[in-house]
Amino acid sequence: MNVKVGISNRHVHLTYEDYKILFGDIPLTKRNDLTQPNTYACNETVTIKGEKRELSNVRVLGPCRTYTQVEVSKTDAYYLGVNPPVRNSGKLDDAYEITIIGPIGEITKKACIIATRHIHVDKNIRREHNLEGIEKVSVKISGEKSGIIENVFLKESDEAYFELHLDTDDGNAFLLNNGDEVEIII
């Protein structure tokens, strides 16, 4: 079966507490909706700073979460001078320390990961696509730089848009664009 691709550029999730340190006691503002229900890109951006360099204009995603997390690619990691582990969202026990700089403040915490390749599903999607009881799959990608990516986790939420999320390294290695269709191999 096929699934659409969504490529995630580097981005930041913030707790409301951390958001207030970076931006003050003003509301987070929506720029545009993302494909997953009730998620959006904000007008707000931050600078992220590693041991070697920093990257500016890094998008904050909303709404605020119960954890602050910085998701980068391995290419970004080399540039910044950080060595983040590959982790599912929210698994920050051994995340890499990084500094997040906003217009009025900054925070430094173990928040930086490379996100695990994942497909968003909910119970209905699992039922429709015979994905019940499955933890991870592989995905076949065609084209000039074709291949198979493994260790793609099914990430379940109450309500999901069926989509494969890859970072820019995976997307660019396979010359993928947002909305391309690729094949799930169970």
Does position 93 bind a second copy by CB under 8 A?
no
Q: Is the CB of 148 or the CB of 186 nearer to a second copy?
A: 148
Does position 55 bind a second copy by CB under 8 A?
no
Name residue 150's amino acid.
E
Residue bearing tokens 């707790």: 15
Does position 180 bind a second copy by CB under 8 A?
no
User: How far is it, in rounded angstroms, from Cα 116 to Cα 126?
Assistant: 19
Tokens encoding 147: 């291949």
Do 4 and 160 meet the contact criterion of CB atoms below 8 Å apart?
no
From the list 44, 163, 170, 180, which residue makes contact with a second copy (rule: CB under 8 A)? 170
Within residues 116-155, the interface with a second copy by CB under 8 A covers: 117, 138, 144-151
Rg of the chain in Å (alpha carbons): 17
CB of 120 to a second copy, least distance (A): 18
User: How far is it, in rounded angstroms, from Cα 76 to Cα 162?
Assistant: 27
CB of 183 to a second copy, least distance (A): 13
CB of 173 to a second copy, least distance (A): 4
From the list 75, 88, 130, 178, which residue makes contact with a second copy (rule: CB under 8 A)? 75
Q: Is the CB of 82 or the CB of 149 nearer to a second copy?
A: 149
Q: Is the CB of 40 or the CB of 78 nearer to a second copy?
A: 78
Residue bearing tokens 């660019």: 172
Question: Which phi and psi angles does 25 have, rounded to 5°?
Answer: -90, 55
User: How far is it, in rounded angstroms, from Cα 167 to Cα 108?
Assistant: 23
- Site residues (CB under 8 A) for a second copy? 73-75, 78, 86, 117, 138, 144-151, 168-170, 172-175
